[in-house]
């Protein structure tokens, strides 16, 4: 084979190898990104939970189960400094052991239609309640937290991070009591400009059992927020056909 033709052939084969390697690298990178994304959401249930009559969906941590409706359910369902929880829909909890006691960590979800109240009004109501607690008199919102939504839900949230002594349920030798422990409460409120629903998420965990969770409170709140989906309203039923 002439030297020129041989050189062209080598260049052509090298280009094919380069294209193949490029495609492999791109495919590998995509698979790696998908794996990391799946691993990040591993603490959440695979199937979404519904709120607001099915109009809102979100994936909640699989470690948390539905709250048992016992005598203390009303006290555990909402933070003690947020008894008027905007649009309260449901609460989930998990009891975690520390020494001879079991403490409850709780997730609370609320949904308010934007036509009823603006998210700014909801945030003012939340802050007014929270600041009545001496532990949190000076707290304020961290506004404009951007999240990478994966289900088409809100991408902007305002966050209230409350760290300090707060009341949790503890069970020791079968005896139930509510007393203050050092803890964390993350309150997230969706703040998209034209959102159809305002979502309120509160994750509240005693510090002594936080390491028993699959992710820290702030990380859990953000993961839930990223999975929020707004389901389109069902179309009106068609008129009955004339006989």
Note the pLDDT tens digit of each residue in 10-69.
Answer: 555 556 556 566 665 555 444 544 445 567 899 999 999 999 999 999 999 999 998 777
Extents of the domains making up the chain: 1-40, 49-230
Residue 237 has a pLDDT of 42
Closest CA to 201 of 184, 220, 215: 220
Q: What 3-state DSSP class applies to 2?
A: coil
Note the pLDDT tens digit of each residue in 96-144.
Answer: 988 888 999 999 999 999 989 999 999 999 999 999 999 999 999 999 9
- C-alpha to C-alpha distance for 75 and 176, rounded to whole angstroms: 12
What tokens appear for 27 in the block? 């495919």
- C-alpha to C-alpha distance for 140 and 121, rounded to whole angstroms: 14
70-101: b (≥16 Cβ within 10 Å) or e: eebeeebbbbebbeebbbbbbbbbbebeeeeb
147, 157 Cβ separation under 8 angstroms: yes
| pTM recorded for the entire structure | 0.81
* pLDDT band at residue 160 using 50, 70 and 90 as cut-offs: very high
CATH of 49-230, one of 3.10.100, 3.40.1000, 1.10.260, 2.60.40: 3.40.1000
3-state secondary structure 88-119: EEEEEEEEEEECCEEEEEEEEEEEEECCCCCH
Note the pLDDT tens digit of each residue in 161-219.
Answer: 999 999 998 888 778 888 899 999 999 999 999 999 999 999 999 999 999 999 999 99
């Amino acid at each position: 084979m002439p030297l020129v033709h041989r050189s062209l052939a080598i260049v052509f084969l090298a280009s094919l190898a380069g294209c193949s390697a490029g495609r492999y690298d791109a495919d590998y990178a995509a698979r790696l990104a998908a794996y990391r994304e799946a691993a990040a959401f591993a603490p959440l249930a695979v199937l979404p939970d519904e709120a607001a009559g099915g109009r809102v969906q979100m994936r909640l941590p699989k470690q948390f189960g539905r709250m048992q409706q016992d005598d203390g359910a009303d006290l555990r369902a909402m933070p003690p400094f947020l008894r008027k929880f905007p649009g309260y829909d449901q609460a989930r909890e998990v009891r975690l052991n520390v020494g001879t006691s079991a403490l409850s960590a709780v997730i609370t979800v609320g949904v308010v239609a934007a036509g009823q109240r603006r998210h700014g009004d909801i945030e003012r109501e939340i802050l007014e309640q929270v600041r009545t607690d001496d532990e949190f008199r000076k707290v304020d919102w961290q506004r404009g937290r951007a999240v990478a939504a994966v289900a088409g839900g809100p991408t902007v949230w305002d966050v209230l991070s409350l760290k300090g002594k707060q009341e949790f349920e503890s069970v020791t030798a079968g005896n139930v009591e509510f007393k203050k422990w050092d803890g964390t409460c993350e309150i997230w409120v969706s703040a998209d400009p034209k959102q159809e629903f305002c979502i309120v998420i509160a994750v509240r965990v005693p510090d002594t059992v936080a390491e028993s969770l699959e992710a820290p409170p702030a990380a859990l709140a953000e993961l839930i927020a990223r999975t929020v989906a707004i389901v389109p309203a069902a179309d009106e039923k068609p008129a009955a056909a004339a006989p």
